[in-house]
Chain A
Amino acid sequence: MEQTLPLSKSVRVRQNIAAGLLVATNLFWLVAAPLQLVGVNLMAIPFAELIVGLVFAASWLLLCTVASNKAVRVASIIIIACCLIKLVMPLIANVVCASLPDLSEMDRMNIIGKINLIFYMIRAIFMVYAYSLILNSGSEIDENDRSWIVVLIVFMAQSIFLFRWLLAGTMLVWSIWIVAYYILMLIAEFRLAKCAAFTGNYDSGIVPKGAYSPLNRYFAGVLIAAVLVSALLMLIAHYREAIENIF
């Protein structure tokens, strides 16, 4: 990782703490996923999800203070907002359900599931925008670090694919992917925290023209893949029984 300017000690410390916190949150999920296979549910620990979410938000708060320009700072704020809204989502879902009278437990679960699904889609779109903003911010991020930020964009697209429930058929298959996913996420978020976009020396004037526009190749890639994958998954959902009978 080449950085053109030597970092001050304060920036380096904040960058390292943020990177460490991001690695810690991913390590938690990385350990939690395979443990579920053997019946150990780390999410059952009281406030586990809340604590992990707050650690993630704290790491981005630190990164926000060392943003190299306005676009990166805006991106950091979007990511923090997405994270905080995610933390209060169970509360919002429960309030919505409470406002609807005479709901059976099944209906309540369905509504909560749909609210979560829509929220995760919107959140993914905002996160893709935030990451694309960092890439377009004019910071001198090297090619290798850029490719890792692209990995984060790619993984965010997962929440935009429709018919994702088809994926949850075999626990072993899902666990293999989840382990690979969190290992790549861990590296990607570490590289993002250490990239040239978070080197301090805040300069509000260097954002290139059009950096804030969502009409970029990152959104194009996500949109095209989301349409293709959703269409294919819809086909599979339609012919599900026939496929199962053939094999």
Chain B
Amino acid sequence: MLNLIRNRFLRIPDKMHIMIIAVVVMPLFIGAAIFFSGHFTNVYKVAFISDHAISFPKSKSIQIDKINERPATSSLAMGKYNAFVEVNKDGEFKVTTLKGESDKKAIQTFFEGGKLPENNKTEQRGIGTNILGFVLMLALMQGVALTTFYPEDRNNSTFKRILTSPVNSRQYLAAQGIFTFICLYVPTFIAIAITKICFGVEIGFGLGNLAVLLVILASLATAFSLFMASIMDRNISLGTSGISIITCILAGCFFNFTGNIKVLDVLCNILPQKAFMILIQAVENGRAFQEFAGQLTYTVTWVFALWLVGSVVTNRRIKKGVY
């Protein structure tokens, strides 16, 4: 096993793109996450469309632009506004938003009662959640780059040759998984820790919690990359990047997302990233891991399921003589 892991480290210097992503892109992404977190002020930006002058109580959580004409709907998608609020003939407020039902109700409540509901979660998403959301997507893509040795070994027949030795495919995949995990975990942890310690950025977690959350994140990315590398023969990186970006957006890795479509909401909730995002958001807000055992178990189940399927597919192909 150690021999297989060492082999991968020996081959890394020839894979400059892996080094660049780990040493340059990962810290840049973390920097970008911190930068954008400053702009994600967790404040509802609302376009209040009315010809009449109506005053509302001031709130840190809601920023109201009074305008006469309804802006283009695309401004919701672009993030210029989170919601449009209009007053109908009966004096009722009509809220239009791409955000979820709870956000819609919160805005409605504010306009009707002058304050946001007690249980509103708008302010609960912090910089740490944003950082790990960004890092999760990058890790899912980087994981495949680090797992590139596996399809490369298959193409160069070294995989088949290894299987003629006493090493079996499970041991091979385990070694590849450990290598991918280490290469994802260590640079990411160091980069975030440096950001916290050296630059004094409050990342929302203690180093202990960060270490645990990164174990889950790196395990998920590792299992996903092994799964993709096992089921795909070509364009693995392209396929993985596409799936990673779409699922991370749907799961709310960058911002809380809901299309107000039940099917889409169900789909989003199936994604392991969603459970992970709920978990990190809770941990950042000072909640204990134990309180979110369901999300934790669900994410870990995905890790094992992806790993298992990847392993089964590989074994089946070996028996068929594909490799």
> Are A and B genuine complex partners?
no
Q: Which residues of B line the A interface, CB within 8 A?
A: none
Interface residue ranges, A against B (CB under 8 Å): none
